[in-house]
Amino acid sequence: MGVVTKMDIAGDNGRDSIIYMMSGEQDDDAFEGDVIDGAWIDECPRKSIYTGTLRGLITTNGPLYMTLTPLKEPWIYNDIYASTDPEIECITGSLYDCLVENGGHLTKANIESFVSKLTTEEIDARVYGKFKHLIGRVYGSYDEEIHVVPKFYIPQSWPVWCGIDPHQRKPNAALWVAISPEEKFYIVNEVYCRQPIETFGKIVKDISEQYNTVATVIDTSSETMDWARRDTARTILQRVGVQTRLARKKNNKETGRLLIHQALEGRDESGKVEPYLYVFDTCKRARFEFMNYVYDDYRDPENRGVREEPKKINDDMMDILSYIVVERPKYKKSEILE
């Protein structure tokens, strides 16, 4: 299509070099197979592109540079920006570093004109290079500094809801949500493991018995037959002592996401807006999914519009939380008997 894809460069030392120009629109297989001396990726790539490029650098141990505005692909934050690998170095820049007085080529008027056209969630990423509000996150209002709290003892008077999402090919997932007397929700425990369903069920039973677990909801997929024993996951769990009821999934996905949004954003308490959904710092999988549960975008959103459905990845705990909140759990103290 008239786009340069390859450049051959003759070296003064008699050794020639080849530079390949590639695009994120290409299939994953296009990034496999070659041995390369170095790579530069501009803007956020799919993880498969990054992994394929790293494979090409194995024998040469060459450098991989990435320059990007952190607008999407949350894996970059988890695997690169937040990595403790000493071989990874990250440099964050601001648009204001590019002012003429700082040696750049932008004027303050240029920058302010651009900033005035951005949404609040875009400013952090486009102006300051921050990952805090990744565009496309389903729960963009989730903030680790606000919603994550240290683990504490849950009184037996607090009702606790458990949610289960069993799988045959993925890790089984379970989540526990406690309701305080002020009717704040606390994600207090989780299980995310690839274990036989019987073993998983025993783990869930042991954890549920630690709390005042008043209800356990389970994904409707648990009614599917087989599970290597020509039985359903729900039946197997029942045999090991985990009694469940089916989650109300039909027409409740959007409702569940809306309720979670409202809980994260908070309600007015005596003139102060305060969230009523929190996560224990020990619940690493739930925290990971809050940061990495994103909407599925078309490659050409300007012509095809914006998708309203999230990607079916990094969603197990988020789905379970949705099943629980649509049940409208309340704090109810036991009646005092005379």
Integer Rg of the chain from CA: 25
Domain 146-325 classification at class level? alpha beta
Residue range 44-57, pLDDT digits in tens: 999 999 999 999 99
Contacts of 236 (CB under 8 A, 6+ apart): 197, 198, 201, 227, 229
More confident residue, 140 or 180: 180
Q: Which of 59, 57, 63, 31 is nearest to 45 (CA)?
A: 31
- Tell me the pLDDT band of 333, cut-offs 50, 70 and 90: low
**Rounded to whole angstroms, how far apart are CA atoms 144 and 291?**
9
**Rounded to whole angstroms, how far apart are CA atoms 265 and 258?**
11
> In the chain, where are the structural domains located?
1-68, 146-325
Identify which of 67-76, 132-141, 194-203 has the greatest average pLDDT: 194-203
**Rounded to whole angstroms, how far apart are CA atoms 230 and 227?**
6
- Is residue 227 over pLDDT 60? yes
Q: Give the predicted TM-score (pTM) of the model.
A: 0.70
Give yes or no for a contact between 166 and 242, defined as CB atoms under 8 angstroms apart.
no
